[in-house]
């Protein structure tokens, strides 16, 4: 059983609630994952890191968490609408690839990014295209309950009818009548009965590649359906937590709520959690604004808006330094400050291992652990927990420079706190030199020097020295390749 009282802000009730899982100590957690048609950016990193923190902390305090994070590989149309091209099919058409090649390529790259950010793998990572049968079954249930209708091989959710028995909009606070007043005349020859309705199943046009047979047409599921179908399959009809970015609150999550109620007559989700959005220099992120920076560009520094490279741990720390429900603004200045803070914290973690205990403590480490737990139990308040850890950093540094002393017990206690909170819960770890831009430059410079010396030896026919340099580098996992343009190197 969990050892702490945990409070979670529930988007649905708009207040913090004591977390009481349906079947303790088991917890079902579902988070909307990426639509895999491009490289990951900050909009992917924030929910991944937010719910990684939730996953890690819940496990730390004794819950057994089944964490399901999906991959959207079908049905997500352009502009998140019911019209337009499938985002993955479009990329496949432009690149002349199979849609599943696009999916595999960007899923692999997403996983690489997540590994670098030290985001733990979810327990299950289902793909929408692998759950077409479950989605078709759910459409049947909704049709049978009378909350959907078929038109020309497509099936739409009847929002106005649903709203008479349930409340459509209870998550986002939207009101159907107002939505109708604002959108009615915008739609022309739509086959939907009402502009607020959304697609459960779409009949595929002849040129649409990703299609499956169904009772209604050869087609594909609506985007919102996959999460309802897959969360039910792996976590049950009712489960504990559903998370995602605030951008998914409407229409995606609102539609998920409607689908579950229509299909099973009750809500599926007990606690809704949403991380807030990221801005860049105060602006929304967007391709047209020229501030759309991928994670890979952050890690390499290769983007005109970046003054330097920022390591994955810097990005992770930066995200954790803000509470997940606050907006977060990325700027070079803020990232450099985060980099400095992270360095101090990780340096203290290293220093801590070499500190020697004294007979008694001249400084108190009492209460630090409890305060960190209090912060985390208060809706995962990582910035407050980090602030308490920095109190411990000051203690570590003052013991290190002999201003203060710690007893063996206190020293062990401090090591436990750092292992738990810095390493296990916040998921921060020292990084290899090659992931930090500055060390990267240093390594490049040193390698150029070494290769120049080796070239000198070769031109003097001193092959013993040039071979020794090559072999010793190989032992350090650095491969040297000779070609007619000279020698090059790479990390193995």
Question: What secondary structure letter does DSSP report for 78?
Answer: G
Out of 8, 29, 32, 422, the only residue in the binding site for Zn ion (CB under 5 A) is 32
Residue closer to Zn ion by CB (options 227, 451) is 227
Question: How far is 343 from 379, CA to CA, in rounded Å?
Answer: 26
Residue 262 near Zn ion by CB under 5 A: no
Question: How many residues touch Zn ion (CB under 5 A)?
Answer: 2
Choose between 55 and 330: whose C-beta lies nearer to Zn ion: 55
Q: How far is the CB of 230 from Zn ion (least distance, A)?
A: 9
Name the 3-class secondary structure at 377. Answer: helix
Question: Alpha helices, DSSP H only, in 378-436?
Answer: 382-400, 408-417
Q: Does 235 bind Zn ion (CB under 5 A)?
A: no
Which part of the chain contacts Zn ion (CB under 5 A), choosing from 138-146, 222-230, 357-365, 446-454?
222-230
Six token digits for residue 30: 């579902």
Q: Looking at 96-104, 225-233, 268-276, 451-459, which segment touches Zn ion (CB under 5 A)?
A: 225-233
What crossing angle do the helices spanning 408-417 and 332-354 adopt, rounded to 10°? 140
Residue 224 CB, shortest distance to Zn ion, in Å, is 7
- β-strands 478-483, 486-491 pairing: antiparallel
Candidate segments 12-20, 27-35, 277-285, 342-350, binder of Zn ion by CB under 5 A: 27-35
Strands 278-280 and 328-330, sheet pairing? parallel
What residues contact 228, with CB distance under 8 A and at least 6 apart?
A: 138, 256, 259, 260, 263, 268
Closer CB to Zn ion, residue 136 or residue 255? 255
Within 360-419, the residues that bind Zn ion by CB under 5 A are: none
By CB under 5 A, the residues from 457 to 486 that bind Zn ion are none
Nearer to Zn ion, 223 or 380 (CB): 223
Residue nearer to Zn ion on the CB measure, 27 or 227: 227
Distance from the Cα of residue 154 to its chain's centroid: 33
Rounded Cα gap, residues 465 and 40, in angstroms: 45
CA angle 359, 364, 365 (to 5 degrees): 100
Are the C-beta atoms of 351 and 330 separated by less than 8 Å? Answer: no
Candidates 210, 227, 268, 385; binder of Zn ion (CB under 5 A) is 227
Q: What is the CA radius of gyration of the chain?
A: 27
**Identity of the residue, 32 or 322, whose beta carbon is nearer to Zn ion in the bound complex:** 32
Binding track over 35-64 against Zn ion, x by CB under 5 A? ------------------------------
**Residue 313 found at the interface with Zn ion (CB under 5 A):** no
Min separation Cβ 265 and Zn ion, Å: 21
Nearer to Zn ion, 118 or 228 (CB): 228
Residue 225 found at the interface with Zn ion (CB under 5 A)? no
Judged by DSSP in three states, 13 sits in coil
Stretch that binds Zn ion, among 55-63, 86-94, 224-232, 447-455 (CB under 5 A): 224-232
Alpha carbon separation from 256 to 32, 36, 122, 243, 451 (Å, rounded) = 11, 20, 21, 12, 59
Distance CA 396, CA 408 (A): 13
Q: Which residues bind Zn ion (CB under 5 A)?
A: 32, 227
């Amino acid at each position: 059983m969990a050892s702490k009282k945990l409070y979670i802000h529930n988007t649905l009730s708009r207040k913090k609630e004591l977390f009481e899982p349906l079947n303790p100590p088991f917890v079902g957690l579902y988070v909307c994952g990426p639509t895999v048609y491009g490289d990951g950016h900050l909009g992917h990193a924030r929910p991944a890191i937010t719910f990684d923190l939730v996953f890690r902390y819940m496990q730390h305090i004794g819950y057994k968490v089944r964490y399901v994070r999906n991959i959207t590989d079908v049905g997500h149309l352009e502009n998140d609408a019911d019209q337009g091209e499938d985002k993955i099919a479009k990329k496949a058409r432009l690149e002349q690839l199979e849609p599943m090649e696009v999916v595999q390529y960007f899923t692999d790259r997403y996983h690489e990014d997540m590994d670098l950010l030290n985001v733990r793998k979810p327990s299950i990572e289902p793909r929408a295209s692998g759950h077409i049968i479950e989605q078709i079954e759910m459409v049947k249930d909704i049709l049978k309950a009378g909350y959907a209708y078929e038109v020309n091989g497509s099936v739409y959710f009847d929002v106005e009818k649903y709203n008479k028995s349930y409340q459509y909009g209870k998550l986002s606070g939207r009101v159907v009548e107002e939505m109708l007043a604002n959108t009615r005349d915008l739609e022309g020859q739509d086959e939907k009965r009402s502009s607020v309705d959304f697609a459960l199943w779409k009949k595929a046009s002849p040129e649409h590649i990703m299609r499956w047979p169904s009772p209604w047409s050869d087609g594909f599921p609506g985007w919102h359906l996959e999460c309802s179908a897959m969360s039910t399959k792996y976590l049950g009809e009712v489960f504990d937590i559903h998370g995602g970015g605030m951008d998914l609150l409407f229409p995606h999550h609102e539609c998920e709520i409607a689908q579950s109620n229509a299909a099973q007559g009750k809500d599926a989700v007990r606690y809704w959690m949403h991380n807030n959005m990221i801005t860049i220099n105060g602006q929304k992120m967007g391709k047209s604004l020229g501030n759309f920076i991928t994670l890979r560009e952050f890690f390499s520094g290769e983007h005109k808006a970046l003054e330097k490279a920022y390591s994955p741990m810097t990005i992770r720390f930066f995200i954790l330094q803000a509470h997940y429900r606050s907006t977060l603004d990325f700027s070079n200045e803020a990232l450099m400050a985060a980099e400095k803070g992270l360095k101090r914290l990780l340096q203290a973690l290293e220093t801590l291992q070499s500190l020697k205990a004294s007979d008694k403590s001249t400084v108190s480490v009492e209460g630090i652990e409890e305060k960190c737990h209090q912060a985390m139990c208060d809706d995962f308040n990582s910035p407050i927990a980090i602030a308490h850890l920095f109190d411990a950093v000051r203690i570590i540094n003052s013991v290190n420079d002999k201003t203060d002393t710690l007893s063996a017990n206190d020293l062990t206690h401090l090591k436990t706190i750092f292992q738990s909170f810095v390493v296990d819960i916040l998921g921060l770890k020292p990084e290899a030199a090659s992931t930090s831009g500055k060390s990267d430059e240093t390594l490049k410079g040193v390698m150029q020097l070494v290769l120049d010396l080796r070239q000198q030896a070769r031109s003097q026919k001193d092959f013993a020295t040039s071979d020794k340099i090559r072999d010793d580098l190989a032992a350090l996992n650095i491969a040297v390749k000779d070609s007619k343009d000279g020698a090059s190197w790479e990390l193995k």
